[in-house]
Amino acid sequence: MYKVGFSKDTHNLIPGEGIKIGGIFIDCNVKVESYSDGDVLFHALSESIHGALGLEDLGFYYNESNMTKGFDSVIILNSAMNFLKNENYFISNVDILIELDSPNLKSIKTLIKNNLHKILCIDERNISIKATTSEGNNTSIIKCYSTILIYKKGKENE
């Protein structure tokens, strides 16, 4: 059985010392305004997994009542991966689009893809990382869109 999940995460950018995208730190003059570390890619990807499994959104599981300010968003992604494993689902492919005017992500897309390959345990050829800008129309935010295809292994699906 195949299932599709989709999600989007958006955060404001404020003056700061850098941002984290896909677990990779980028040294720049902005930071993400967020209760967590603000990793929009991990947030969108995790919530797309939740969507494919028919689970609640991230705010249901992770909020100020049960998480410490600035927590590492890989916690969220690892939890989503555990939900997949517990339901006997596996990732077929992931398609990610990041919208950010600055800094340019061209030089780190390969690093992000490699990090996702390690966390998700899927072939890098099944991970697409794309970057775009708002053409200067929305320079104070970062957005990430994630689509995921998952499949279930088992005798009834072979």
Structural domain boundaries enclosing 101: 2-157
Residues 109-124: tens digit of each pLDDT: 999 999 999 999 999 9
Instruction: Report the CATH number that the domain containing residue 73 is assigned in CATH.
Output: 3.30.1330.50
Element (H, E) at 82: helix 74-86
Residues 46-80: tens digit of each pLDDT: 999 999 999 999 888 887 888 888 789 999 999 99
Cβ atoms of 6 and 44 closer than 8 Å: no
Q: Which residue is listed with tokens 């941002």?
A: 19
> What does pTM read for this prediction?
0.94
Please state the domain count of the chain: 1
Distance CA 31, CA 22 (A): 14
